A and B are shown apart, each in its own frame.
Chain A
Amino acid sequence: MFCPTPWHTLKTVPNLSVELLPGHKRGLSFSNPVMTASGTFGNGLDYAKIFDIQRLGAIVSKAITLRPRQGNAQPRIIETAAGMLNSIGLQNIGVDAILRDIAPVWATWRVPVIANIAGESIAHYAELARRLDGAPGVSGIEINVSCPNVENGLEFGTDPRSASDLTYAVRRETDLPLLVKLGPNVTDIVGIAAAAADAGADGLTLINTFPAMRIDIQARRPTLGWGSGGLSGPALKPIALRMVYQVARSLDIPIVGCGGIVSAEDAIEFMMAGATAVQVGTATFRNPQAPLDIIDGLEEFMQREQILAVREIIGAALPAQRESQTNNAGGVAAGHGPQSDGAITGRALRPG
């Protein structure tokens, strides 16, 4: 077995810190690249009792809506091969209660908290952003444009025009760091990513769950109460990874990778594909310590490989030249043929 230099020969402790949004005027710096994914960590308060949440890079809140939502009927969760489906239906206490009861607690934490927002219309999203803007404890906003579990939830994310309108409407209401979280159920992720970037997103979170279902063969109907749900967990990882790679090689915008990450190795793959940070979701259901174990694993990997700063691995697996400059992806690397993506235009193109 290959035995790399023992870590103690490294003179310095590896530097895990990342600046997610160097282009934003205040930026968004994390002590490490490992975040918790929306809807898989509550609002962080429960886990504050279970482990040292201050060790996390950042926390993303459960989706926040204008009014409280009870969520969908049972069953809301069902297991699948290497994954699970959920149709929670955006159960949450609503923005008023978040601002009154939860954000003040976030404000006492060192770890940044990003508010994930979801609405039924562009006006809802804009109002949510207005309400959250400037609230102590809210370090940024993540727009959930692709929640598959509410009526019309898919529409914003599936075409560049509405993704652009939505991003623009939110951008007008806030100077906070703004992440736009896209879903994978689209034919051209790069086009939608470019539209969000052009409309003012500071960064992109890729990806949300994939719409999916199971059938109860005894009852002869869909297993989930809502009918269908979103697929998450390891089954999603290769899809998410490719989307991160596709967007990163085409656009110059910070990316947060998400989907099926359960180990440090998974996180490293996402970073090498171009993600500046990663979000851990379903893995925490299996191992409540998963995000912390991934941070430890990252550090061990860096020590083993003698990597001084985690920043060094961001985009390490990307082709030397951006897609936009090669015209033909087929020549860049194996595995993404000339059929992919087509021409991209817009401000978001990675410059020379």
Chain B
Amino acid sequence: MKLERAVVLSQEELYENTYLMWLSSPRVAKSASPGRFLMIHCGDADEPLLPRPMSFHRFRDSQSERQFAILYDVRGRGTAWLSTRKPGDGLTNFGPLGRGYATNPDAQNLLLVGGGLGMAALIALADQAIVAGKSITLLQGARTAVKLYPTDLLPPEVEALSATDDGSAGHHGYVTDLIPQHLSWADQIFACGPTPMFAAMANVIREARSRKPAQALLEERMGCGTGICYGCAVFTRKGVRLVCKDGPRFELRQVFS
């Protein structure tokens, strides 16, 4: 796997501290899919040392090539550097990596649950599923209204509901509170968000005595992204697994019971 040079097509601060960046990196885009990720060098020279993992946020076909976007929050020095990139700038990266979401062919009604920046990966799945003729309900949770992903950017077919911790938009409380009312409708559930959200989800599903299959996209600090450093280990019911290689998609039940 070679280092690739991506070209920045556009960059904008989509909402508070959250950036949308479109990239052209044809070889990486070719086998990319929702839930998989790429590793990006976030600096001009050799620092910072480790590449940053980023999920594929959206895909589009333009100028006879497949392009993709990433959606990211500025957290530390790597993402701060990323946010200063301009159209035409190059980005060193490699990927795609990991196992993405796997939609059950029989599943018609998909329930997507995103917490915070979990939306980054879920929207690629929503786009793809709409094209495949599936029905989508998307539940998104955020700290406060300005941190919600703008629903007007979603495919119009998606039914979107939101929850905020401070009640400034949608349901006042956690996004997981919204799950029970959709459980019987859903054929399959897909989630991305912080670990406490996954734990709460597992609880809600268990309390509803539901056996609906649910996939979670896990996040762990990564060294290599390719399964060689053993840094991203997660302890599952079936033993220790690597998020970058065996995941990041896991059956929710396998990790949170």
Interface of A toward B, CB cutoff 8 Å = 39-42, 46-47, 50-51, 62, 70-71, 74-79, 81-84, 86, 88, 91, 233-234, 262, 282, 284-289
Give the distance to chain B from A113, nearest Cβ to Cβ, in Å: 14
Instruction: Say which size band chain B's interface belongs to.
Output: 20 to 34
Closest chain A residue, CB of each to CB of B235: A70
Whether B46 and A74, one on each chain, are in contact in the complex, defined by CB atoms closer than 8 angstroms, is no
Whether A51 and B229, one on each chain, are in contact in the complex, defined by CB atoms closer than 8 angstroms, is no
Q: How far is the CA of A262 from the CA of B1 in the complex (A)?
A: 17
Contacts A75-B220, A79-B49, A286-B51 known; list 10 others, CB within 8 Å.
A70-B235, A75-B221, A77-B229, A77-B232, A82-B46, A82-B47, A83-B49, A86-B223, A88-B229, A286-B49
Residues of the B chain whose Cβ atoms lie less than 8 Å from the Cβ of A47: 226, 228
B1, B46, B49, B225: the one contacting A84 at CB < 8 Å is B49
Residues of the A chain whose Cβ atoms lie less than 8 Å from the Cβ of B220: 74-75
Task: Knowing A74-B220, A77-B223, A86-B223, say if A40 contacts B233 (CB, 8 Å).
Answer: no
Task: Knowing A79-B49, A82-B47, A83-B49, say if A289 contacts B230 (CB, 8 Å).
Answer: no
Q: How far is the CA of A62 from the CA of B242 in the complex (A)?
A: 15
**Interface 1/0s, chain B 215-251, versus A by CB < 8 A?**
0000011111111111111110001100001000000
Q: How far is the CA of A262 from the CA of B41 in the complex (A)?
A: 15
B51, B226, B233: the one contacting A46 at CB < 8 Å is B226
Whether B227 and A46, one on each chain, are in contact in the complex, defined by CB atoms closer than 8 angstroms, is yes
Whether B230 and A70, one on each chain, are in contact in the complex, defined by CB atoms closer than 8 angstroms, is no
Whether A287 and B49, one on each chain, are in contact in the complex, defined by CB atoms closer than 8 angstroms, is no
Give the distance to chain B from A106, nearest Cβ to Cβ, in Å: 16
Give the distance to chain A from B37, nearest Cβ to Cβ, in Å: 14
A50, A82, A86, A234: the one contacting B229 at CB < 8 Å is A86
Give the distance to chain B from A92, nearest Cβ to Cβ, in Å: 8
B1, B48, B228, B235: the one contacting A40 at CB < 8 Å is B228
Closest chain B residue, CB of each to CB of A74: B220
B223, B234, B240, B245: the one contacting A285 at CB < 8 Å is B223
Give the distance to chain B from A312, nearest Cβ to Cβ, in Å: 29
Whether B48 and A79, one on each chain, are in contact in the complex, defined by CB atoms closer than 8 angstroms, is yes
Residues of the B chain whose Cβ atoms lie less than 8 Å from the Cβ of A82: 46-47, 49
Task: Knowing A50-B1, A51-B1, say if A76 contacts B230 (CB, 8 Å).
Answer: yes
**B50 at interface, CB cutoff 8 A:** yes
Whether A62 and B230, one on each chain, are in contact in the complex, defined by CB atoms closer than 8 angstroms, is yes
* Those 9 A-B pairs whose CB atoms lie nearest each other, nearest first: A77-B231, A285-B224, A42-B228, A50-B1, A288-B1, A285-B223, A46-B227, A88-B230, A77-B223
Residue among A42, A81, A82, A284 having the largest count of chain B Cβ atoms under 10 Å: A42
Residues of the A chain whose Cβ atoms lie less than 8 Å from the Cβ of B239: 70
**B209 at interface, CB cutoff 8 A:** no
Give the distance to chain A from B61, nearest Cβ to Cβ, in Å: 27
Whether A70 and B46, one on each chain, are in contact in the complex, defined by CB atoms closer than 8 angstroms, is no
Q: How far is the CA of A42 from the CA of B244 in the complex (A)?
A: 13
Give the distance to chain A from B132, nearest Cβ to Cβ, in Å: 29
Residues of the B chain whose Cβ atoms lie less than 8 Å from the Cβ of A46: 226-228, 245
Whether B233 and A262, one on each chain, are in contact in the complex, defined by CB atoms closer than 8 angstroms, is no
Closest chain B residue, CB of each to CB of A69: B240
Give the distance to chain A from B107, nearest Cβ to Cβ, in Å: 30
Residues of the B chain whose Cβ atoms lie less than 8 Å from the Cβ of A233: 49
Give the distance to chain A from B191, nearest Cβ to Cβ, in Å: 19
**Interface 1/0s, chain B 34-61, versus A by CB < 8 A?**
0000000100001111110000000000
Give the distance to chain B from A326, nearest Cβ to Cβ, in Å: 37
Residues of the B chain whose Cβ atoms lie less than 8 Å from the Cβ of A74: 220-221, 233-234
Residues of the B chain whose Cβ atoms lie less than 8 Å from the Cβ of A76: 221, 230-233
Q: How far is the CA of A234 from the CA of B47 in the complex (A)?
A: 10
Whether B231 and A86, one on each chain, are in contact in the complex, defined by CB atoms closer than 8 angstroms, is yes
Q: How far is the CA of A88 from the CA of B230 in the complex (A)?
A: 7
A70, A84, A288: the one contacting B226 at CB < 8 Å is A288
Residues of the B chain whose Cβ atoms lie less than 8 Å from the Cβ of A288: 1-3, 94, 224, 226
Residues of the A chain whose Cβ atoms lie less than 8 Å from the Cβ of B240: 70-71, 91
Residues of the A chain whose Cβ atoms lie less than 8 Å from the Cβ of B50: 77, 79, 84, 285-286
Closest chain A residue, CB of each to CB of B231: A77
Whether B226 and A39, one on each chain, are in contact in the complex, defined by CB atoms closer than 8 angstroms, is no
Closest chain A residue, CB of each to CB of B240: A70
Q: How far is the CA of A331 from the CA of B39 in the complex (A)?
A: 49
Q: How far is the CA of A70 from the CA of B231 in the complex (A)?
A: 12
Give the distance to chain B from A91, nearest Cβ to Cβ, in Å: 5
Residues of the A chain whose Cβ atoms lie less than 8 Å from the Cβ of B223: 77, 84, 86, 282, 285
Q: How far is the CA of A41 from the CA of B229 in the complex (A)?
A: 7
Closest chain A residue, CB of each to CB of B77: A79
Give the distance to chain B from A80, nearest Cβ to Cβ, in Å: 8
